[in-house]
A = this chain, B = another copy of it.
Amino acid sequence: MIVVVKSGTALPEINRICEEVSGTWGITPEIVPGKHKVIIGLIGDTANLDPFRIQEISPSIEQVLKIEKTYKRASREYRHGQAGEVVVRTPNELVHFGEHHPVVLIAGPCAVESEAAIVATAKRIKAAGAKFLRGGAYKPRTSPYSFQGHGESALEMLAIARQESGLGIITEVMDTADVSRIAQVADILQVGARNMQNFALLKKVGAQDKPVMLKRGPSATIDEWLMAAEYILAGGNPNVILCERGIRSFDRQYTRNMLDLSAVPVLRSLTHLPITIDPSHGTGKSELVPMMAKGAIAVGADALMIEVHPNPAKALSDGPQSLTPEQFEQLTTELAAIGQTLNRWPKQTAVLV
């Protein structure tokens, strides 16, 4: 951490700051006199020290600059610069998420609506190459009067679809009280964008052993997102997958959110955690999904989460951003072409499609 002292500050005050720093936190201050300003380097274990605590020592402090990252377990350095991977056990196979593995496809409806529909969808998307079925049992909705998900009965339908298709299941958890129940069915627990800083929930999913898909909050910075991941990792659960799903921008005329594809290469240098892109929520419009899915693979995403509904016009939620199964099949063919060019596509796909 670096303390910038206001120009014109007298030496005794600078010394007092140094003494307070070393007395209170056992940190060694090193004074660097500049032409206009003095800076004080703080040497020691400062990663979790709040810069504001330092700033308040003296009105002569102009700025306190934190140069250490505040996340540790999520940092790339934590794995000595190597990529990580999250391995998820599904009924049929182990699926690997990570930059040295093929792109993982996750697909399915926004909300689980009926057993017949979810089972049929699961089989269709599996045939097209998906490894996971997504589907909401508990739905976060802006309005209390909108459909809130079928809850427990939807969990049962997901369990059946899992068994029938062999796909892994990913579904959202919204309440600490529901975590253990959902973890009995899901292979991956999803923490939604609006709960990214629901710290009680992060602690809870950090204390159980199913992998967690952590969506980025609509106005979360990269650092806040990684700190949210750190909550789960610090809780003892090392299996966190990040998911970018669009952030809030000033222009919401044509897209529901602004999909931040640059997050993928940015995160690569900061963290070892695998990265998923959700172009469905990221744009809010089914006609934009194929282009943005291709873009996601080109920038290096490790997985794609795409909404697929047998009849989007009748979907109980998020219809306009859902592809039909036919559109999804067509898309996977196009994605395969780019994925193969970049060596990020499963070898056996040609057989499956």
A binding-site residues for B, Cβ under 8 Å: 2, 4, 7, 30, 32-37, 39, 41-45, 48, 50, 52-53, 55-57, 62-63, 65, 67-68, 70-71, 77, 140-146, 148, 174-178, 194-195, 197-203, 218-219, 221-224, 227, 230-231, 234-235, 247-255, 258-262, 264-266, 269-270, 282-283, 287-288, 291-292, 294-300, 312-315, 317-320, 337-338, 341-342
Q: Do residues B48 and A43 form an inter-chain contact, with CB atoms below 8 A?
A: no
**Smallest distance from the beta carbon of A343 to chain B beta carbons, Å?**
10
Q: Do residues A266 and B288 form an inter-chain contact, with CB atoms below 8 A?
A: yes
Q: Do residues A142 and B219 form an inter-chain contact, with CB atoms below 8 A?
A: no
A227-B142, A248-B250 are known contacts. Are A2 and B292 too (CB-CB below 8 A)?
no
Partner of A287, one of B194, B269, B313, B337: B269
CB nearest neighbor in B for A234: B144
Chain B residues closer than 8 Å to A34, beta-carbon distance: 41-43
> Can you report 12 residue pairs joining A to B where beta carbons are below 8 Å apart?
A35-B43, A70-B143, A140-B197, A142-B227, A221-B253, A223-B253, A258-B258, A262-B291, A265-B291, A292-B299, A295-B296, A298-B298
CB nearest neighbor in B for A198: B198
Q: In the complex, A45→B35 CA distance in Å? A: 7
CB nearest neighbor in B for A31: B32
How many copies of the polypeptide does the oligomer hold? 4
Q: In the complex, A267→B149 CA distance in Å? A: 31
Q: Do residues B250 and A2 form an inter-chain contact, with CB atoms below 8 A?
A: no
Chain A residues touching B, majority SS: mixed
Q: In the complex, A220→B116 CA distance in Å? A: 37
Q: In the complex, A15→B68 CA distance in Å? A: 22
Q: Do residues B177 and A177 form an inter-chain contact, with CB atoms below 8 A?
A: yes
**Smallest distance from the beta carbon of A79 to chain B beta carbons, Å?**
15
Q: In the complex, A45→B254 CA distance in Å? A: 24
Q: In the complex, A69→B50 CA distance in Å? A: 24
**Smallest distance from the beta carbon of A147 to chain B beta carbons, Å?**
9
Q: Do residues A292 and B35 form an inter-chain contact, with CB atoms below 8 A?
A: no
A56-B319, A262-B283 are known contacts. Are A200 and B174 too (CB-CB below 8 A)?
yes
Q: In the complex, A182→B299 CA distance in Å? A: 36
Q: Do residues A77 and B265 form an inter-chain contact, with CB atoms below 8 A?
A: no
**Smallest distance from the beta carbon of A35 to chain B beta carbons, Å?**
6
**Smallest distance from the beta carbon of A238 to chain B beta carbons, Å?**
14
